[in-house]
Amino acid sequence: MKEECLICKAPLVYVEAEKIMECAICHKKENSKTSCTKGHYVCNECHTKGMDAIIGLCLKESSKNPVEIIWKMMEQPFCHMHGPEHHVMVGSALLTAYKNAGGDIELRQALIEMMSRGKSVPGGVCGFWGACGAGISTGIFVSIISKSTPLAVKPFGLSNLMTAKALEQIGTIGGPRCCKRNSYLSILAAVGFVKNHFEVEMEKPEIICRHTAQNNQCIGKRCPFAKVSQSTLYKKTII
């Protein structure tokens, strides 16, 4: 097996009903639907240990390309093949590229806010909530740059519409989940959305997946980022 359980590398299993789990690292007890086949559970906090490094990485970054920025995050020790760290990484990469492309934000404070909000989106929501955390991260990104609140008018609409656009791309491809694929889909949706609604143009490269060998559930040619992709449906729908 490739990377699955962070403790023993055994496959993960998901159950319908939550039960009390004890984190194998910090021994905190909490409700969860996830463990490995040998019974190990790792909480979100332990799974994302070291993720605060994102802020320093982004503040040193000059790229206008959010994909290039998130690739650098994916190389860091805190980033695994799958996990809730992507719920912060997507929005952070977008905030950084947006700032570098001329967006009017105070980046440090925006990244701190992204960290706070993104960390509250737990792992597994893509399957259990019907809303992938990478897609939600784009909505958080837009809510930050537009200063949205629950009482806002246009910013409220834009942030929800952004999430919807990202989730549409993710849902069009289908499962099983891949945090890398969903991060790329979300970022590409956001680049087009921001150009249209905020008149800030970020850069984007052609994306060819670098993580196929680490993903036990890779969908192969059905992925739009495979070396040889047959996902014509994706090509018709991507923003």
pLDDT at residue 101 is higher than 70: yes
Exposed/middle/buried for residue 43 (C-beta within 10 Å: 0-12, 13-18, 19+): buried
As for how many domains the chain has, the answer is: 2
87 and 32 in one domain? no
Residues 30 and 57 in one domain: no
Are 25 and 131 found together in one domain?
A: no
**SS3 of 34, please?**
strand
pLDDT digits (tens, 9 = 90+) for 128-168: 999 999 999 999 999 999 999 999 999 999 999 999 999 99
Can you give the pLDDT at residue 189? 97
- pLDDT cut 90: percent of the chain above it: 72
H helices present in 75-153, as ranges: 86-100, 107-119, 125-128, 133-145
Domain membership flag for residue 214 = no
In the predicted structure, residue 234 carries a pLDDT above the cut 50: no
Position 185 in a domain: yes
Residue 236 lies in a domain: no
Query: Of the ranges 22-31, 153-162, 227-236, which one carries the lowest mean pLDDT score?
Result: 227-236
If asked whether residues 110 and 168 sit together in one domain, one would say yes
**Closest-CA residue to 225 (of 197, 195, 200, 188):** 188
DSSP state letter for 6:
T
Higher pLDDT, 128 or 186: 186
Is the residue at 2 inside a domain? no
* Identity of residue 228: V
Beta-carbon contacts of residue 100 (< 8 Å; ≥ 6 apart):
61, 62, 63, 64
159 and 102 in a single domain? The answer is yes
Task: Tell me the C-alpha distance between 82 and 5, whole Å.
Answer: 10
**Residue 151 shares a structural domain with residue 87:** yes
pLDDT band at 229 (very low <50, low <70, confident <90, very high): low
C-alpha closest to that of 121 among 90, 147, 150, 156: 90
Structural domain includes residue 216: no
pLDDT, average across residues 33-56: 90
pTM (whole model) above 0.85? yes
Regarding whether 22 and 89 lie in a shared domain, the answer is: no
Under the banding of pLDDT at 50, 70 and 90, the label for residue 1 is very low
Bridge partner residues of 21 (DSSP): 30
Residue 69: its pLDDT value, please? 97
Could you tell me the pLDDT band of residue 198, with boundaries at 50, 70 and 90? very high
- 235 is a domain residue: no
pLDDT per position as a tens digit, 59-74: 999 999 999 999 999 9
